[in-house]
Amino acid sequence: MGVQNKGLALLKENKIEDDDNVDFDDEVSKSESGSDFESESEEDEDVKLTEPSKNAIYNTDGILDKLGDISWPENVGWIHKLSIDIDQEQQVDVNDDLARELAFYNQALEGTKKAFEKLQSMGLPFLRPADYYAEMLKTDSHMEKVKGRLLAEKRKIEEAEERRKARESKKLAKEIQAQKQKERNKQKKEEIESVKKWRKQRQQSGFASGEKDGEMDFSFEDGKSFERSNKKRPGVAPGDRSGGKTRQGGKGKKPQKKNFRDSKFGFGGKKALKKQNTAETTNDFRDFNKGHASGNKKRKR
Amino acid sequence: MGKKRKHGETVAVASVKKDDGDAAASERPQRTLFGWKDKKNGAQETETKTTTTTTTTTTITAGFRNKEKVLVTCSRRINFRYRHLMLNVVSLLPHCKKDNKVESKESKGATLNELVELKSCSSCLFFECRKHKDLYLWMAKGPNGPSVKFLVNAVHTMEELKLTGNHLKGSRPLLTFSSNFDSNAHWKLLKEMIIQIFGIPKEHRKSKPYHDHVFVFSIVDDHIWFRNYQISVPHNESNKIARGGLDNMTLVEVGPRFCLNPIKIFGGSFGGPTLYENPFYISPNQIRALEKRKKAGKYAKKVKAKTRRKMHELENPLEPDEFADMWKE
Q: Do B46 and A71 touch (CB under 8 A)?
A: yes
A158, pLDDT greater than 60: yes
Task: Please tell me the distance in Å from B329's CA to the nearest CA on chain A.
Answer: 54
Give the span between the Cα atoms of B101 and B88, in whole angstroms.
16
Gap from B309 CA to chain A (nearest CA, Å): 20
What whole-number distance in Å separates Cα of residue B163 and Cα of residue B174?
Answer: 19
For chain A, say whether B248 makes contact (Cβ under 8 Å): no
A165 to chain B nearest CA, in Å? 28
Are A42 and B153 a contacting pair, CB within 8 Å?
Answer: yes
Interface of A with B in 110-129 (CB under 8 A): 110-113, 115-116, 119, 125-129
Q: Helix, strand or coil for residue B308?
A: helix
| CB-based contact A68 B267, cutoff 8 Å | no
Contacts with A144 from chain B: Cβ below 8 Å = none
* Domains of chain A, residue spans: 62-126, 151-202
Minimum CA–CA partner of B229 in chain A:
A108
| Amino acid letter for position A264 | K
Rg of the Cα atoms in chain B: 28
Q: What is the pLDDT of residues A223-268, one digit of tens each?
A: 555 555 566 666 666 666 666 666 555 555 678 888 888 888 877 7
> Is the confidence at residue A43, as pLDDT, over 80?
no
Q: What are the distances in angstroms from CA B280 to CA B9, B206, B269?
A: 25, 40, 23
**Smallest Cα distance from B128 to chain A, Å:** 13
- Which chain A residues are within 8 Å of B183, Cβ to Cβ? none
List, for residues A72-96, the tens digit of each pLDDT value: 888 888 999 899 999 887 788 888 8
Tell whether B242 lies on the interface with A, counting CB pairs under 8 A. Answer: no
Instruction: Give the list of residues 6+ apart from residue B98 with CB closer than 8 angstroms, or none.
Output: B72, B73, B90
pLDDT band per the 50, 70, 90 thresholds, residue B257: very high
Rounded to a whole number of angstroms, the CA Rg of chain A reads: 47
Whether residues A76 and B61 touch (CB distance < 8 A) is answered with yes
**C-alpha B290: how far from chain center:** 24
Q: Give the integer Cα–Cα distance in Å for B247 and B274.
A: 46
Read off the pLDDT band of B224 (50, 70, 90). very high
Smallest CA-to-CA distance from B73 within B155, B160, B148, B139 is with B139
Instruction: Please state the length of chain A.
Output: 301
Instruction: Report the pLDDT averaged over residues B107-127.
Output: 93
| DSSP one-letter code for A18 | T
Query: Where are any strands of DSSP class E within chain B?
Result: 70-74, 96-98, 123-130, 134-141, 147-156, 174-178, 213-220, 223-232, 250-253, 257-268, 271-277
As a whole number of angstroms, the distance between CA B210 and CA A61 comes to 39
Q: Are the CB atoms for B143 and B24 separated by under 8 Å?
A: yes
User: Cis peptide before B256, with omega less than 30 degrees from 0?
Assistant: yes
Q: Shortest CA distance to A33 belongs to which of A2, A54, A56, A58?
A: A54
Domains of chain B plus CATH, in order, are 70-236+245-279 (3.40.50.10480)
3 state SS of B235 = strand
* Interface pTM, i.e. ipTM: 0.74
CB contact under 8 A, B176 and A136: no
Mean pLDDT of chain B: 81
Strands (E), chain A: 37-40, 46-49, 83-86
C-alpha to C-alpha distances, B117 to A237, B122, B269, nearest whole angstrom: 101, 8, 12
Q: Name the residue with higher pLDDT: A53 or B260.
A: B260
For the question of whether the overall pTM of this predicted structure is more than 0.90, the answer is no
Tens of pLDDT, residue by residue over B15-71, are 444 444 444 444 445 555 555 555 444 444 444 443 333 444 344 446 788 999 999
Residue A250 near residue A232 (C-beta atoms within 8 A): no
pLDDT exceeds 80 at position B214: yes
| DSSP class per residue in B97-132 | EE---B--STTHHHHHHHHHHHTT-SEEEEEEEETT
Cβ of residue A186 closer than 8 Å to a chain B Cβ:
no
For A14, residues 6+ apart whose C-beta sits below 8 A from its C-beta are: B293
Ranges A137-141, A195-199, B143-147, B239-243: which has the least confidence = B239-243
DSSP B250: E
Within 129-168 of B, beta carbons closer than 8 Å to A belong to 141-142, 144-146, 149, 153-154, 158-159, 161-164, 166-168
State whether residue A74 sits within 8 Å of chain B by CB: yes
